[in-house]
């Protein structure tokens, strides 16, 4: 039987995503009512600038007092799209205390304090959903948390930041340098005026922490994620990648150790073979490759950011939370029963592509090979070109612990015949 009394929803934030959520709630009201089993009503919107005109939103719903809004007691669901750590964290916990469940798109907060927020939700019998925090409209968190709940996920490998993928794709397809590609992304609205969070990997690292925690049922915080930005990637790196049949992507990689006793989470640029599904992800799109024991290899692909895609994920969570509310139940919460340790980057086993500037004379290759051998790193391929006493030496290694590869690079820098290390890139996706 359809309930006639509406479920009341309050918005914290009404920017690009929040305004789109409000619009969809209004234009799709009948559909949402049918899907939920009760009407939903926008009961309040907390903003910082109340004088701004917000088309389609009743001005009487606007308030600058977010705390009073979440404390009202008659709100069923809070939608938090303000971002950042505070005041979002306090507002969410206050909402739980006053009877509301929460739908959030706040990746930074979930990555840093997800465990505490889940504990608060459980304590007060509320839901905490955050599909929109990772990969925009792409259904990813719910499949990991629910569809694959009976399986064992061993690896999550993905492109989870549209800005960086747009830049790297432009460098790959046009031969542009990093700054030129960044300028184009900024002009087209794909990059913020300050792109640091994207290009230095902070955004992707927060998403990696969330994905690793859900996939491996363990606690993974933002500080546990190794992070390396993409600002040093050059056109020469792409040229080398193409010679190997690869391209370059900024990847979020979450892995369970071979013995199952630990996990790792990392974000960094990497060469991946053109045959890998992630190599064909273009523009500002996101894609995540999941490897599970029973399900095998799964790929999730779509727009990873923007008002409409992110709002779609928020509305999906809103429907689920409202259904739970009507059923007087809560959905799946935090699952961290394994309590696996998070290993350091030095323990990660991977491959390297190393480009060296060396003296063009006999014996150089033998010296370089000796350094690799002394550090227990096996060489896969070597390519050398030289002219007028200077040469370029490109070495691709077999898989080895990252610490051993890093030690190798440091030792190479100390060779008299090595003029410099032109670039270092990990090779993934095999």
Catalytic residues: 207
Give the bridge partners for 79, in sequence order.
Answer: 11, 103
Question: How many other β-carbons are positioned within 10 Å of the β-carbon of residue 331?
Answer: 17
DSSP code per residue over 291-342:
EETTTEEEEEEEE-SSHHHHHHHHHHHHHHHHHHHHTT---------S-PPB
Q: Give 205's contacts (C-beta < 8 A, 6+ positions apart).
A: 111, 222, 225, 227, 252, 265, 267
Strands 418-427 and 349-359: antiparallel
Distance CA 229, CA 408 (A): 21
Give the bridge partners for 272, in sequence order.
Answer: 247
Distance CA 340, CA 11 (A): 36
Question: How many other β-carbons are positioned within 10 Å of the β-carbon of residue 409?
Answer: 16
Q: Give 55's contacts (C-beta < 8 A, 6+ positions apart).
A: none
- Residues belonging to the chain: 430
Nearest to 368 by CA among 352, 344, 387, 349: 352
Question: How many other β-carbons are positioned within 10 Å of the β-carbon of residue 184?
Answer: 16
């Amino acid at each position: 039987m359809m309930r006639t009394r509406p479920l009341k929803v309050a918005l914290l934030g009404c920017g690009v995503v929040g305004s789109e959520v409000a619009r969809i709630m209004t234009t799709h009201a009948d559909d949402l009512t049918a899907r939920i089993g009760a009407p939903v009503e926008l009961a309040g919107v907390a903003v910082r600038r109340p004088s701004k005109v917000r088309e389609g939103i009743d001005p009487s719903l606007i308030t600058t007092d977010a705390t009073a809004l979440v404390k009202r007691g008659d709100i069923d669901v809070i939608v938090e799209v303000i971002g950042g750590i505070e005041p979002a964290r306090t507002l969410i916990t206050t909402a739980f205390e006053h009877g509301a469940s929460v739908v959030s798109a706040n990746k930074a907060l979930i990555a840093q304090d997800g465990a505490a927020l889940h504990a608060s939700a459980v304590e007060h019998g509320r839901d905490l959903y955050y599909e929109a925090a990772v990969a925009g409209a792409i259904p990813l968190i719910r499949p990991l948390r629910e569809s694959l709940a009976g399986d064992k996920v061993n690896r999550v490998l993905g492109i989870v930041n549209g800005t960086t993928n747009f830049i790297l794709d432009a460098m790959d397809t046009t031969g542009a340098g990093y700054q030129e590609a960044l300028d184009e992304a900024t002009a087209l609205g794909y990059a913020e005026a300050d792109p640091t969070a994207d290009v230095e990997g902070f955004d992707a690292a927060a998403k990696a922490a969330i994905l690793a925690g859900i996939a491996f049922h363990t606690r993974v915080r933002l500080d546990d994620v190794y992070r390396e930005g993409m600002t040093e990637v050059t056109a020469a790196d792409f040229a080398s990648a193409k010679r190997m049949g690869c391209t370059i992507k900024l990847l979020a990689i979450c892995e369970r150790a071979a013995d199952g006793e630990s996990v790792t989470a990392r974000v960094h640029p990497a060469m991946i073979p053109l045959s890998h599904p992630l190599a064909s992800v273009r523009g500002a799109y996101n894609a995540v490759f999941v490897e599970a024991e029973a399900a095998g290899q799964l790929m999730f692909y779509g727009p990873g950011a923007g008002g409409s895609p992110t709002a779609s994920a928020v509305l999906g969570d809103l429907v689920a939370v409202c259904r739970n509310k009507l059923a007087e139940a809560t959905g799946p919460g935090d699952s961290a029963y394994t309590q696996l340790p998070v290993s350091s980057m030095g323990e990660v086993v991977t491959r390297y592509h190393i480009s060296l500037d060396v003296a063009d004379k006999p014996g150089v290759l033998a010296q370089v090979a000796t350094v690799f051998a002394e550090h227990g790193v096996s060489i896969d391929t070597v390519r050398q070109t030289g002219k007028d006493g200077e040469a370029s030496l490109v070495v691709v290694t077999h898989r080895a612990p990252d610490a051993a590869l890093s030690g190798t690079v440091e030792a190479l820098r100390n060779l008299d015949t090595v003029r410099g290390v032109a670039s270092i890139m990990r090779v993934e996706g095999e």
